[in-house]
Amino acid sequence: MQALSEWFTELLADNTIFTAQTLGYYGSGLVTTVQLVFLSLIIGLVLAVPLAIGRSSQRRWIRTPIFLYTYVFRGTPLLIQLYLIYYGVVFFDGIQETWLWVLLEEPFVPALIAFTLNTAAYTTEIFRGAIKATPRGEIEAARAYGMSRRLMMRRIILPSAFRRALPAYGNEVIFMLHASAIASVVTIMDLTGAARFIYARYYAPFDAFLFVAAIYLCLTFAILYLFRYLEKRLLAHLKPLEQ
Partner 1 sequence: MNRLLTLTMMGAAFAMTASASVQAQDDETVRFGVDVPYEPMEYRDADGNLTGFDIELGNALCEEIGIECEWVVQGWDGIIPGLQSRKYDAIMSSMTINDDRREQVLFSDPYITPPSAWFIPTDSEIDDVSEEGLDGFTIGVQRGTLQDNYATDMYGDVADINRYDTAEDLVLDMESQRADIAFLDFPVGKATLIDNEEYDYQVIGNMITEPKEYFGDGFGIAFRKRDEALAERFNEALETLRDNGTYDEIYDKYFSM
Partner 2 sequence: MIDLHGYGPRLAEGALVTVEVAVLSLVLSVILGLLTASAKMSRSWFLHRLGTLYTTVIRGIPDLVLMLLLFFGGQMGVNVITDWLYYQFDIDIFININEFVAGVLTIGLIFGAYMGETFRGAFLAVEYGQIEAARAYGMNHWLVFKRVRFPQMMRHALPGLSNNWMVLLKTTALVSVIGLSDMVRIASEASKSTREPFTFMLLVGAVYLAIASVSEWGFARLQKRYSVGFGEAD
Asked if 87 interacts with partner 1 (CB under 8 A), we say yes
Alpha carbon 61 to its chain's center: 29
Among positions 78-107, residues that touch partner 2 (CB under 8 A) are: 78-80, 83-84, 87-88, 91
From the list partner 2, partner 1, none, pick the one residue 96 interacts with, judged by a Cβ distance below 5 to 8 Å according to partner type.
partner 1
Tell me how far the alpha carbon of residue 239 is from its chain's centroid.
27
User: Residue 227 interacts with partner 2 (CB under 8 A)?
Assistant: no
Binding range to partner 2, per CB under 8 A, among 76-84, 124-132, 154-162, 232-240: 76-84
* Contact range with partner 2 by CB under 8 A, out of 4-12, 17-25, 96-104, 193-201: 193-201
Residue 11 C-alpha from the chain's centroid: 35
**Strand, coil or helix: 153:** helix
Query: Rounded to whole angstroms, what are the CA distances from 116 to 42, 48, 228?
Result: 8, 10, 24
Least spacing, CB of residue 226 vs partner 2, in Å:
14
Q: Quote the CA–CA distance of 132 and 118 in Å, as a whole number.
A: 22
Between residues 178 and 233, which has the closer beta carbon with respect to partner 2?
178
**Which of 217, 225, 228, 233 is the binder for partner 2 (CB under 8 A)?**
217
Q: How far apart are CA 97 and CA 81, in angstroms?
A: 24
When asked if residue 90 is in the footprint of partner 1 (CB under 8 A), the reply is: yes
Rounded to a whole number of angstroms, the minimum distance from the CB of residue 42 to partner 2 is 20
Burial, 208: exposed, middle or buried (Cβ in 10 Å; 0-12, 13-18, 19+)?
buried
Could you say whether residue 77 binds partner 2 (CB under 8 A)? yes
Q: Please state, in angstroms and rounded to a whole number, the distance separating the CA atoms of residues 217 and 89.
A: 34
- CB burial of residue 223 (10 Å; 0-12, 13-18, 19+): middle
CA–CA dist 183, 173 (Å, integer) = 16
Stretch 148-177 residues interacting with partner 2 (CB under 8 A): 174, 177
Cα–Cα distance for residue pair 160/153, rounded to 1 Å? 10
- CA distances, 41 to each of 25, 68, 132, 183 (Å): 24, 21, 22, 15
105 interacts with partner 1 by CB under 8 A: yes
11 binds, among partner 2, partner 1, none (CB under 5 to 8 A by kind): none
Stretch that binds partner 1, among 39-47, 65-73, 130-138, 189-197 (CB under 8 A): 189-197
**Binding region for partner 2 (CB under 8 A):** 71-72, 75-80, 83-84, 87-88, 91, 174, 177-182, 184-185, 192, 195-196, 199, 205-206, 209-210, 212-213, 216-217, 220-221
**Binding region for partner 1 (CB under 8 A):** 87, 90, 96, 101, 105-107, 185, 187, 189, 193, 196-197, 199-201, 203, 205
